[in-house]
Amino acid sequence: MSAREFQDILWRHSAIVITNYTGEHLEFNLKGLGKLADVDHQMDIQEQTLPVLEGNFQCRVFTGTLRDLYKTSIELPNKKKSLNALFLPNAHALVEESPYATDMSTADIWFSLAATKGAHHYYHIDSQGDGMFIDVVKGEKLWVIAEPKVRKKETSTRQWTKENMDLTCLNPSEWNIEAVLLTEGTRLVMRPCAVHAAFTTADAICRGGHFLATSTMSQTLYGAIHSFFKGNVITNIDQPGIQSRVNAIVCYFYKSMR
């Protein structure tokens, strides 16, 4: 498939699933988790067996380590916790050629994820208008994509500002909802501003990254505006490095069109 064809599909659809993509394989043990970061490095981890208080999901965030994830993964079923480590920058990832974007600033865009069974994140968009790809190298992820039935609602300032909006359960009369089970070796590529939820159905290790594509710059703009006003509600982690990448694209077009 040519870059033009891939970009066209990405513009028309929220996500693309590529099976048998990645050959990397890691076990969910201290050795495998140690490939992501020092297993004793302190980081923010979401403890998702805790209740949400008054819509504030931040009450689930605490400081922990990848060793904590491993320990809970081998506990008895009634003692296990659903833990989610989202911020694991992958600064040493190889730069790869793709039909949707050119890698740059690898430390800013590549990341790893680790989560125990039951970890989840309800409906949200990726921060600041970034596109995203994710490779499952161990375990499984259930990925749920939601598209507004009226597409122009993607740009509506009212989409995320309704009173008492429940991001755990979107109204199926207003949204087309589709789920896909991502198994080991699968890559999912998702355009900017795609509304999605993720559920970890088995202890999982993933690699991933963010990107900007010329065919979806409109969606990047929508996502950046939504993030500016309601980022504390509809995103799960900030991506401040996106500004330098947007600037690079703007400069490229400016110089190319002169």
Residue 2 clears pLDDT 90, i.e. is over it: no
Q: What pLDDT is stored for residue 56 in this prediction?
A: 67
Q: Which range has the worst mean pLDDT, 119-128, 156-165, 200-209? A: 156-165
Copy the structure tokens of residue 153: 């609602």
Q: Span 186-206, mean pLDDT?
A: 96
**pLDDT band (50, 70, 90) for residue 70:** very high
Determine the average pLDDT of the residues in 61-66.
94
Asked whether 255 and 247 are in contact (CB, 8 A), the reply is no
Of residues 100 and 183, the one with the higher pLDDT is: 183
- How many domains does the chain contain in total? 1
Please give the average per-residue pLDDT across 12-26, as a whole number.
93
The mean pLDDT of the chain is 89
pLDDT digits (tens, 9 = 90+) for 235-247: 877 666 788 888 8
H/E element, 22:
none
Q: Which of 180, 176, 28, 188 is nearest to 100 (CA)?
A: 188
Residue 192: pLDDT band (50, 70, 90) is very high
Helix ranges, the chain (H): 3-12, 30-33, 66-73, 106-109, 217-234, 242-257
Helix axes 242-257, 217-234, angle to 10 degrees: 160
Structure-token pair, residue 124: 């949200």
What pTM was estimated for this model as a whole? 0.90
3-state secondary structure 149-209: CCHHHHHCCCCCCCCCCCCCCCCCCCEEEEEEEECCCCEEEECCCCEEEEEEEEEEEEEEE
Tokens 């040519």: give the residue. 2
CB count in 10 Å sphere of residue 21 = 15
The yes-or-no verdict on residue 196 having pLDDT over 90 is yes
Overall average pLDDT of the 31-38 stretch: 97
Return the SS3 of 171: coil
Mean pLDDT for 157-163 is: 80
CA distance 89 to 133: 14
Q: Are the CB atoms for 129 and 16 separated by under 8 Å?
A: no
Q: What is the extent of the structural domain holding 140?
A: 3-257
Distances in whole angstroms, Cα of residue 208 to Cα of each of 62, 165, 177, 205: 23, 29, 23, 10
How far is it, in rounded angstroms, from Cα 6 to Cα 229?
A: 31
Phi, psi of 199 (to 5 degrees): -130, 130
- Cβ(119)–Cβ(216) below 8 Å: no
Return the CATH number at 222.
2.60.120.650
pLDDT higher than threshold 80 for residue 105: no
pLDDT at position 55 = 65
Task: Give the whole-angstrom CA distance, residue 74 versus residue 64.
Answer: 17
